Chains A and B, each alone.
Chain A
């Protein structure tokens, strides 16, 4: 039989129940609202974090490769073969190469500190190009430029600077490296993808040779390559550096580490999403519960509708749609709340704001679906009420 109640009218009828009991409708929708808000906020914050990471990677570059020898059997620092920089430079897509030499020189703030208490700060001997290749910035001062290589000056990584309590270069400051005094000429900004460099001090090759007799034997090389061929470069870099034993060269992309960290965050995100889903489930049960009560309370209305010609199916649709409307209102409020929370969070932490439209639509659809599922039982219950019973005085 043809549906006589028009779709538009069905909406009016479904809205009647919501309009007539606004306070109750608002309370009923809260559960769904909270659930959807949680889901939107969690996905929004996670997406914003991801967008921010991509922006960071974009600025730092994903085309940086780091290569170092595998740690020796007893944890000793292995050296790379002679002339390794030249070998790597000859790989086609490689744009820039620089090398550093890790030392075991202890860094101290002053000679009042025992020379056995290094504080986890390493000393790296470097050439001037390092700063550019790793994409670093100076907060203050300058890097080990060409003219500074031979004199006892040093540049601090960001973590080093705060550990030594040196936040400014306004007054000349000296620190002890090995047992020699070095003047601090620069402080680096956080490097993000090179936590090891943040925890280091840098000195030039010239002074390393004269004071500590350290030769230019690279322990790590940093390579910038054409991003298009980055995978290929990663593959050939080890055999190029050590053709006899390529296994002994460890090649990594620091940007991978950030992505791995992001993946770890994803696990936490999933946990929060799970909690959001629980809120939705509870919200759905709340709607079903209120709808069942509402059906019992509105027997008169059901009886009147039946007496003026409503079929069972039309009553069923009315209550089903009402449940969907309730849940949909919760969903919309949740989306607004969740977006607000994300906006607040991204503003507060100063990261890029990003909420995927698909996730917002998905959240609303989810709310509607929950409303539909929650409404099935009350709707069937309403349609089964006998008209005679419903209009009983």
Chain B
């Protein structure tokens, strides 16, 4: 079955070393393939290198050693513009602290997700309203982040990640700042998105949450242990 699937991201023997002092080897010769349609959680203690790994997968950071291939292409040859374009079109990011822009409404925040795609403002706002409806916030589109609960804010952030219709969703501790119920809600949304065909990678230190995903990768000291 695996052979029929397309490899979206392939990490080959990557290492990430933060030049100190002290020098830290956050990722240690790690190899990993993520297939199209995967629902993967990466779990590990804090300091195990999960966030660093996610940044590598999300093209937010560069590797010290090894290669990262996206859809078969080695990204070390890509320029900043190409990488940015790739992030903008293919990857939807969800962060632990939501990272919504204060002062903008939920709709405007979601529309920002299309800002760098060369789409007209009216169209961006229209699309944003649709996606907010999809995540169950159709009645909150004019609210500012500070007027929303944590779970609602995270759903706005998910809408922002989804508005550009990415193939690939990267979530960095998306439930970390939420209560249990809101956390479960977010997990269900991610699972639902996976059913609709999106590749979802989530990092978490919550074993229980991690187990709800099809594939669980456990990270310790920058290495995959399970």
Q: Do A and B bind each other?
A: yes
- A307 to B55 Cα, complex, angstroms: 10
Contact B60 A5 (CB under 8 A): no
- Given known A-B contacts A306-B84, A311-B84, A4 and B118 have beta carbons under 8 A apart: yes
- Given known A-B contacts A5-B115, A308-B115, A309-B84, A386 and B103 have beta carbons under 8 A apart: no
**Nearest-CB residue, chain A, relative to B102:** A20
Check: B31 CB closer than 8 A to any chain A CB: no
B-side interface residues, number (CB < 8 Å)? 36
B147: A residues at CB distance < 8 A: none
- A308 to B110 Cα, complex, angstroms: 11
Contact B112 A308 (CB under 8 A): yes
A4: B residues at CB distance < 8 A: 85, 116-118
Q: Mark B206-225, 1 if CB is under 8 A from A, else 0.
A: 00000000000000000000
Nearest-CB distance from A288 to chain B (Å)?
23
Check: A9 CB closer than 8 A to any chain B CB: yes
Q: Which of B51, B52, B58, B61 has a CB less than 8 Å from the CB of A386?
A: B61
Check: A229 CB closer than 8 A to any chain B CB: no
- A24 to B10 Cα, complex, angstroms: 46
Check: A387 CB closer than 8 A to any chain B CB: yes
Check: A351 CB closer than 8 A to any chain B CB: no
Partner-contacting stretch, out of B89-97, B131-139, B192-200: B89-97
Contact A308 B60 (CB under 8 A): no
Contact B93 A307 (CB under 8 A): yes
Contact B121 A311 (CB under 8 A): no
- A274 to B60 Cα, complex, angstroms: 48
- A386 to B96 Cα, complex, angstroms: 18
Contact A387 B60 (CB under 8 A): yes
Q: Mark A305-334, 1 if CB is under 8 A from B, else 0.
A: 111111111100000000000000000000
- Given known A-B contacts A388-B60, A391-B99, A308 and B160 have beta carbons under 8 A apart: yes
Nearest-CB distance from A69 to chain B (Å)?
80
Q: Which of B81, B99, B120 has a CB less than 8 Å from the CB of A304?
A: B99
A1: B residues at CB distance < 8 A: 81-82, 85
Check: A393 CB closer than 8 A to any chain B CB: yes
Check: B174 CB closer than 8 A to any chain A CB: no
Check: B19 CB closer than 8 A to any chain A CB: no
Check: A90 CB closer than 8 A to any chain B CB: no
**Nearest-CB residue, chain A, relative to B96:** A393
- Given known A-B contacts A9-B121, A314-B116, A393-B97, A308 and B87 have beta carbons under 8 A apart: yes
Q: Mark A220-237, 1 if CB is under 8 A from B, else 0.
A: 000000000000000000
Q: Which of B60, B113, B120, B172 has a CB less than 8 Å from the CB of A306?
A: B60
Partner-contacting stretch, out of A11-19, A37-45, A157-165: A11-19
Considering the complex, which residues of chain A in the window 364-393 have a beta carbon less than 8 Å from any beta carbon of chain B? 386-389, 391-393
Nearest-CB distance from A306 to chain B (Å)?
7
- A13 to B121 Cα, complex, angstroms: 12
Q: Which of A20, A300, A310, A312 has a CB less than 8 Å from the CB of B103?
A: A20
**Nearest-CB residue, chain A, relative to B95:** A391
- A16 to B100 Cα, complex, angstroms: 13
**Nearest-CB residue, chain B, relative to A1:** B81
Check: B181 CB closer than 8 A to any chain A CB: no
Q: Which of B88, B121, B160 has a CB less than 8 Å from the CB of A12?
A: B121
Check: B32 CB closer than 8 A to any chain A CB: no
Q: Mark A1-36, 1 if CB is under 8 A from B, else 0.
A: 110111011001100100110000000000000000
Contact A9 B115 (CB under 8 A): yes
- A391 to B99 Cα, complex, angstroms: 8
Check: B187 CB closer than 8 A to any chain A CB: no
A58: B residues at CB distance < 8 A: none
Check: A206 CB closer than 8 A to any chain B CB: no
**Nearest-CB residue, chain B, relative to A392:** B51
Nearest-CB distance from A345 to chain B (Å)?
40
Check: B184 CB closer than 8 A to any chain A CB: no
B101: A residues at CB distance < 8 A: 16, 20, 301, 304
Check: A303 CB closer than 8 A to any chain B CB: yes
Considering the complex, which residues of chain B in the window 143-192 have a beta carbon less than 8 Å from any beta carbon of chain A? 160, 164, 172-173
- A300 to B101 Cα, complex, angstroms: 9
- Given known A-B contacts A5-B116, A311-B80, A16 and B97 have beta carbons under 8 A apart: no
Q: Which of A4, A13, A306, A309 has the most CB of B within 10 A?
A: A309
Q: Which of A9, A16, A391 has a CB less than 8 Å from the CB of B60?
A: A391
- A255 to B91 Cα, complex, angstroms: 77
Check: B8 CB closer than 8 A to any chain A CB: no
- A307 to B99 Cα, complex, angstroms: 11
Contact B84 A300 (CB under 8 A): no
Contact B87 A309 (CB under 8 A): yes
Nearest-CB distance from A382 to chain B (Å)?
14
B120: A residues at CB distance < 8 A: 6
Considering the complex, which residues of chain A in the window 275-304 have a beta carbon less than 8 Å from any beta carbon of chain B? 300-301, 303-304
- Kindly list 7 other residue pairs between chains A and B, CB separation below 8 angstroms, not including A6-B118, A387-B55: A1-B81, A5-B115, A5-B116, A309-B84, A309-B89, A309-B164, A391-B55
- Can you identify 13 A-B contacts, CB atoms within 8 angstroms? A1-B81, A6-B120, A9-B121, A19-B103, A300-B99, A303-B60, A304-B93, A308-B88, A309-B116, A310-B88, A313-B81, A388-B55, A391-B99
